[in-house]
Each structure stands twice: as structure tokens, then as C-alpha cells.
Amino acid sequence: MPKKCIPRTISGPRGAQAVIYARVSSKEQEKEGFSIPAQLKLLKEYAAAQGFSVAQEYVDVETAKQTGRAAFGEMIAYLKTHPAVRVLLVEKTDRLYRNLKDWVTVDELEVEIHFPREGVVLSRDSRSSEKFMHGITRC
């Protein structure tokens, strides 16, 4: 019998600021039900339930296999220049990164990443092995 993944809920201080990132690989994928509006709805509801205020939202409609996504780059720049914003909300891992360079870029920001669909929260308090395995299995 497979193990059941039990979602962890870690909420930051009430009112902590977060950014939301949503992505689909193509217009066709969006038409097939991987909708940006559905991701944004889930992430906004999660933010409200966790007590986060949403500072910015970023949306890409392009593949994550290659580096250079426009909104992803804007989000990284925003997080670098706004040290008070240390929470990143993304539906699930493959919406955020699918290449090693992007994973390293996000990891270096030392933000707390919430993947509500997967029930996973990665933070600087996560064990290195947990972050490493998460990156290896997702990229």
C-alpha cells in the first residue's frame, strides 16, 4: 500500500507578504484545463487561509524546461529587491521550475516556498537533504 502524503500547514506571521506564481506551458495546455485562473484562485484561497497578504502575482504562459521566462525573471528581481517578502506560493513544483538553473536561482533567495497542491513547504529550516531531493526529483 502506498504511503499517504499528509499536507503540512506552516503559516507565517499573520499578514506576512507573499508572491504568487502561476504558469502553464502553452496556450493549448491552458485550454486543456491547466488554467491560470484556477491556479490563481487556489493560491489566493491558500494565502487567505494561511494569513498571507499577496504583494504581487506573476503569470507565465511558456515552458519551464528552458530558462528565461519573462514573469519568472520579474518575480526573482522583485524578491531580490523586497527582502520583507519571503514567501512564494506556487500550485505545484512543476509550475515553478523544470530545470536545474531555475531551482538554484530560487533556492538562493532563501524564500519559504508553499506548494499547496502537493502539501509541501520548503524553507531555510528544511533539511538540506529534503531540499536537494525535492530539486532532484522535480527538475
CA atoms 66, 105, 56, 46: torsion sign: positive
Domains detected in the chain: 17-138 (3.40.50.1390)
Beta bridge pairs of residue 89: 20, 114
pLDDT at 125: 74
Average pLDDT (1-13) is 40
**Distance from C-alpha of 58 to C-alpha of 17, rounded to nearest angstrom:** 14
When comparing pLDDT for 124 and 70, which is higher? 70
Percent of the chain with pLDDT over 70: 74
Convert the pLDDT of each residue in 26-69 to its tens digit.
766 655 656 899 999 999 999 999 999 999 999 998 877 778 88
pLDDT at 15: 75
In the block, residue with C-alpha cell 507573499: 18
Asked if residue 75 lies in contact with residue 90, where contact means CB atoms within 8 angstroms, the answer is no
Whether residue 109 has pLDDT greater than 60: yes
Residues near 13 by beta carbon (within 8 Å), at least 6 away in sequence? 51
